[in-house]
Amino acid sequence: MKLETVVFYPHESEFDVESAGAFAPAQSTADRLVEYNQQLKDNLNAGLYFTEVLDTLIKTDDVNELLKAVQILASYQLDSSYLVYPLQYSRADFYLIFVNRLLGLHEDETIILQSSEQKQSLYHEFPGINDRGIFKFAVNPANNQQAFYVEEKTGLRLFFIDFEKKQLYFNSQDLTKLLLVNYRDQVQKHILKHFERYLVALGQYLQADYGYEVDFNFFDATYDKLYQMQTATDPDDALDKLFVKSSQAGLMLISGMNGEAVLKLKGQVVLTLFNKDLVQATQPCWVMKVDDPDNQVSLFDLLVDNDFLVDWYLENENDVQIRCHEVFMEADDK
Amino acid sequence: MSNSNQFTLVDHGQATKALAMVLKNKTDYLQTLAQAVANQDDRQVYQLINGEKYATEIQKARHIQADKANEQLVVDANDYLSDYLSQKLIAFLNERYPFFYFEETGRGHFQFYFGNWWGRRLFGTLDVLNVAFVFDEEEYQKLARSFEFEAQNKRLNTDTIERLSQENDEIKELLDSKNARDAEQERIRRKLKDLNQMKVMPWEASKQRERKQQLEDELNRYEKLDAKVFDGYQRIHDNEKKILALSKEDTLLGYEKQSILAKFGSFADFEAQNKVLYRDYIANLIAHDNQEV
């Protein structure tokens, strides 16, 4: 999937620009001039209004004004038949600015907003990942309030955001590919966790400030989080493999009283795998659960910290990978 | 008038007394047993339900006065006895054999697993009345053999796993080289065709036949290789399944061995301990009684 920042070109705007001169025929020249002048004024005013909103986006200290600004800009049509702005930022760029501003308001701006000189567009860069990752929004052409946050080189979609419905869903499958496969030997573990923290913080601010519905997926460290696995049957082979691999790593996968598999890891962290629909089971529903004394550890953290575990996770991904929101599946079908 | 032809019968008074004696003996037995149970005196219960075993193993008696007839009285209550006796016994076993996990499958019937790890094996049943493990023969033999293998610094399935992995490597290689083989076969077939069409002088005929045979042999060899891997992917998959099962078994046996070594020092000592379990347990009960007194 190729992702380019969308730039508004004169007469090639994303919107249909009414073609000039298509006005009612019976007009005197004077009327036309007046009409023209009025259009110019309106358009200039629209441009001025745009700069005011952009000011807000850049400068406001109010989270609500910030959100409103980005929503206006994201659907704003700056060009018209009378006035064309050759240099413009795209919606995707406004979304990036919004992210930085929101983090900034929480004094937590961990991602760097970069501008690419050739393309006149913006992108995100993360310290430590550096130029290995270029992060941008890919706006849904059919609905400009929806966007995927994408790593440009790989096309991997890290999360989905809907500014209108206030939804944010993380995509553990692509995050796994990017962070645990591609970056595995290239980026230090603590950097990967910093990157996780950045994404989680973003989700938390959206949740707290605007009431977003957020699926943190395998970044979720809350104590009662159950990570639902892909498999629709009992993952016997995968569990046996985990048993063997754990043993090779000097750990023991234990059999619980109710058929659950329990793995005690260092730092009093416990990973439990079990079928949560034991009772009314028409088909098993296997989940993973991570327990730690401070509720600080997510499944992703465990995977980062334990090489044998991530090996196992990747080798058995058809069974054990954590399910993602269907928005990522639908896009896959295309 | 008495009939002098009748045999002289035993005095009824005698008979009554004799029966009363027998019955008293039985009630005494049952009362003693009931009292032992009431006192939670498991040692005495063991003595009462199997006097012969108790005398042989504990008292090392030469003349055994077994009370088999009375013991028969409670045979149909074995499950109840077993259920009752299991509590102290399993507490004792939990300490001596911390790696056995007992499960009651029915009144007085117990099975046990080796370990608490994933995929742990069902290792046998517990004979409470005789204080003995009834090991699952197959599982026990695997464990015994894995101790033998340890001397060679190997695990039970090391060789098999190696063989299967090697087989998989070979199949993969053959699958990978399939295209090259196809091309080669095609080349040979073309050559054969050319040879067949070639007209040769009579004195060259034998040489040509020889050449043809050579090519056909070569073709045959390739076909055999193809046949070898026609179900290659399936076999790789099957082998991988087998390897997983064997690795799992080796891991299980590894944990079992470690458990035994940690508690008993050696497999021989473990086996020796199992043989004297009854005596050991009764001695433990006696020691406890003495402590309480």
How do residues A104-124 score in pLDDT, each as one tens digit? 999 999 999 998 877 778 999
> Which of B142, B247, B116, B147 lies closest to A252, judged by CA?
B116
Question: For residue range A137-167, what is the model confidence (pLDDT) as tens digits?
Answer: 999 999 888 999 999 999 999 999 999 899 9
Is a pLDDT exceeding 70 seen at residue B172? yes
Of all residues in chain A, what percent carry a pLDDT higher than 90? 65
Q: Render the burial of A53-90: b for 16+ CB within 10 Å, e for the rest.
A: bbebbeebeebeebbebbbbbbebebbbebebeeebbb
Rounded CA-CA distance A17/A11 in Å is 7
Chain A residues in contact with B118 by the CB 8 A cut-off are 239-240, 242-243, 253-255, 261
Chain B residues in contact with A240 by the CB 8 A cut-off are 118-119, 244-245, 248
Give φ, ψ of B205 to 5 degrees: -60, -45
Is a pLDDT exceeding 60 seen at residue B248? yes
Mean pLDDT of B173-188: 87
Here the tokens at position B165 are: 């992995």
Is a pLDDT exceeding 80 seen at residue A330? no
Which pLDDT band holds residue A278 (cuts at 50, 70, 90)?
Answer: low
pLDDT recorded at residue B200:
75
Mean pLDDT of B129-155: 92
How far, in whole angstroms, is CA B49 from its chain's centroid? 29
Give φ, ψ of A14 to 5 degrees: -70, -20
pLDDT recorded at residue A8:
47
Mean pLDDT of A242-246: 96
> Which of A83, A51, A86 lies closest to A69, judged by CA?
A51
* DSSP codes, B7-56: PPPPPHHHHHHHHHHHHHHHHHHHHHHHHHHHTT-HHHHHHHH-HHHHII
Q: List the beta bridge partners of residue A273.
A: A261, A288
The residue count of chain A comes to 334
How far, in whole angstroms, is CA A231 from its chain's centroid? 25
Q: Regarding predicted confidence, which is higher, A11 or B30?
A: B30
Q: Is the dihedral of CA B189, B191, B197, B199 positive or negative?
A: negative
**Any idea which of A173-187, A215-229, A276-290, A297-311 has the lowest mean pLDDT?**
A276-290
* DSSP codes, A264-281: EETTTEEEEEEETTSSS-
Under a CB-based contact definition with an 8 Å cutoff, are residues A199 and A309 in contact? Answer: no
Closest-CA residue in chain B for A240?
A: B248
Q: Which candidate from B116, B244, B254 shows the least CB-CB separation from A254?
A: B116
Is a pLDDT exceeding 90 seen at residue A301? yes
Give φ, ψ of A157 to 5 degrees: -100, 115
Cβ–Cβ below 8 Å for B117 and A253: yes
Is a pLDDT exceeding 60 seen at residue A3? no
Question: For residue range B31-53, what is the model confidence (pLDDT) as tens digits?
Answer: 999 999 999 999 999 999 998 89
Under a CB-based contact definition with an 8 Å cutoff, are residues B195 and B208 in contact? Answer: yes
Average pLDDT, chain A: 88
Q: What is the largest CA-CA distance in chain B?
A: 138
The pairing of beta strand A286-291 with beta strand A227-228: antiparallel
Rounded CA-CA distance B293/B287 in Å is 10
Torsion of CA B50, B56, B62, B65, to 10 degrees: -10
Question: What are the extents of the domains in chain B?
Answer: 10-73, 158-250
Is a pLDDT exceeding 90 seen at residue A101? yes
Rounded CA-CA distance A115/A7 in Å is 14
Mean pLDDT of A279-292: 84
Range picked from A73-77, A113-117, A241-245, A283-287 for highest mean pLDDT? A241-245
Element (H, E) at B253: helix B232-264
Give helix B232-264 / helix A236-248 axis angle, nearest 10°: 50
Question: For residue range A202-218, what is the model confidence (pLDDT) as tens digits?
Answer: 999 999 999 999 999 99
Its pTM stands at: 0.81
SS3 A123: strand
Chain A residues in contact with B241 by the CB 8 A cut-off are 237
Average pLDDT, chain B: 90
Q: Regarding predicted confidence, which is higher, B208 or B148?
A: B148
Q: Which candidate from B117, B244, B254 shows the least CB-CB separation from A237?
A: B244
Cβ–Cβ below 8 Å for A254 and B117: yes
pLDDT recorded at residue A313:
96
Is a pLDDT exceeding 80 seen at residue A333? no
Is a pLDDT exceeding 50 seen at residue B79? yes
pLDDT recorded at residue B7:
77
A318 in contact with B, Cβ within 8 Å = no
Here the tokens at position B171 are: 């199949």
Under a CB-based contact definition with an 8 Å cutoff, are residues A27 and A35 in contact? Answer: yes
| Helix runs in B152-231, H state only | 158-176, 178-197, 205-228
pLDDT recorded at residue B205:
80
* DSSP codes, B59-92: I--SS----HHHHHTTGGGHHHHHHHHHHHHHHH
Q: Count how many Cα atoms sit within 13 Å of the Cα of residue A50 in the half-sphere of its side chain.
A: 18
Cβ–Cβ below 8 Å for A254 and B118: yes
Which pLDDT band holds residue B68 (cuts at 50, 70, 90)?
Answer: confident
Residue A106 CA: distances (Å) to CA of A62, A100, A119, A204: 11, 10, 30, 11
Rounded CA-CA distance A33/A7 in Å is 31
Mean pLDDT of B83-105: 96
What domains are there in chain A, each with its CATH number?
1-17+25-217 (no CATH), 227-320 (3.30.310)
Distance between A260 CA and the closest CA of chain B, angstroms: 9
Give the residue from A243, A253, A263 with the most B CB atoms within 10 Å of its CB, the best one to mutate.
A243
Is a pLDDT exceeding 50 seen at residue A12? no
Chain A residues in contact with B120 by the CB 8 A cut-off are 255
Residues of chain B contacting A, Cβ within 8 Å: 116-120, 241, 244-245, 247-248, 251, 254-255
Regarding an ipTM greater than 0.95, the answer is no
pLDDT recorded at residue B151:
80
Distance between A305 CA and the closest CA of chain B, angstroms: 22
Mean pLDDT of A28-47: 89
pLDDT recorded at residue A10:
44
